[in-house]
Amino acid sequence: MSGSGDENLKTTPLHDLHLRLGGRMVGFAGYALPVQYPAGILAEHRHCRSAAALFDVSHMGQVRIEGPGAAEALERLVPASLAAAPVDRYRYTQFTTPSGGMLDDLMAARREDHLFLVVNAGCKDRDLAHLRDSLGQGLSVELLEDRALLALQGPQAAAVLSRLAPDLASLPFLALAEVSLDGVACLVSRSGYTGEDGFEIALPGDKATALAERLLAEPEVDPAGLGARDSLRLEAGLPLYGHELSEEITPVEAGLSWSIPKSRRLSGGFPGAEVILRQLAEGAPRRRIGLKLEERAPARDGAPVLDEEGRTVGVVTSGAFGPTVEAPVALALVEAAAAGGASFSILVRDRPRAARAVPLPFVPTSFYRG
């Protein structure tokens, strides 16, 4: 058992549970969170792929926006279509900048009488300021600070959760439902960040530990930390803010064109629309690609990517050993002209290591499609 080593870090409602479970705590986005438990990152990763893993993602920002015209107002800040979206269905989108970059990526849902957003922990203070400054008067923006967020992920997640709420077994992908889990009122969505089927459970912070313990008592469920969460999302080819997403990278360059619907491509009306729509029509100067290294040494963020002639054509944005792939894998942002190549090299410890381009995701996703 270990502490975070920094008294200035915030803690989530599950902090004491993490310590009791032997979590090795680290600082992440201003919070003390478990990077792993005694079983280790590799075991946690594989358990999520084969059964079900429980992650604490309470550091993420849960935001409620209320008032007339809230969806239309939010559409002025993101390239998603929200006003016409079905109630209780998530839309994945981004806060874009006037130059076409991204302030953050987020999940947004239109509920009966308000909007519900989940934003990244490291960006939530800036996101809140951006929302309050940009949405206009008559709309309230509230960070739900007394809430927790659990992510139950893996092929057995639905079987586990349906023991507490049978109807969740048929909840569609990206849908939300208000249900009682073990006597606790929860907002459950069929979503997650591992590439596996799974659920995210928003609930009162003072009820989170009891529900987490209830889920961990199920034979299929083990706890998992930040290390496994990152290796799982990397194998699933999912971008991470601060790596594949930033103010200097557009949604098109990041491979997120699919998140911009036809209606917004026609209407525009969001920050950076001129740049982003031009890239959609004509192509972006850079592209996100997947690379598999031929040797065992993994490439890390910032490592230069070279083409077959030895010319630097890009940079690794995320890299690690892929436990399911059983090889080092990387996401990279490279020049569009080079992105169609098959063979590259990556500078690892100042030595070029052979890598080949592979389709994303590295591991097929298992999102529930009904």
201 and 133 share one domain = yes
Please tell me the predicted confidence (pLDDT) of residue 140: 98
pLDDT in tens, 137-191: 899 999 999 999 999 999 999 999 999 999 999 999 999 999 999 999 999 999 9
- As a residue count, the chain comes to 370
Number of domains forming the structure of the chain: 2
Does 1 score more than 80 pLDDT? no
Beta-bridge partners for 290:
331, 358
pLDDT bucket at 56, cuts 50 / 70 / 90: very high
pLDDT in tens, 208-254: 999 999 999 999 999 999 999 999 999 999 999 999 999 999 999 99
Q: Is 278 helix (H, G, I), strand (E, B) or coil?
A: helix
> Which CATH number covers residue 123?
3.30.1360.120
Residue 258 domain-assigned (yes or no): no
Q: Which residue among 203, 236, 269 closes a domain? A: 236
Residue 256 domain-assigned (yes or no): no
> Which CATH number covers residue 327?
2.40.30.110
The model carries a pTM of: 0.96
204 and 308 share one domain = no
Beta-bridge partners for 89:
175
Question: What percent of the chain clears pLDDT 70, i.e. is strictly above it?
Answer: 98
Alpha helices in 51-193 (DSSP H): 70-75, 124-134, 157-162
Across 8-125, the runs of DSSP E, i.e. the strands, are 24-28, 31-36, 52-56, 61-66, 90-96, 102-110, 115-119
DSSP state letter for 41 = H
Residue 264 domain-assigned (yes or no): no
Does 3 score more than 70 pLDDT? no
> With the C-alpha atoms ordered 130, 195, 367, 315, is the resulting torsion angle positive or negative?
positive
Sort 201 into a burial class: Cβ within 10 Å, 0-12 / 13-18 / 19+.
buried
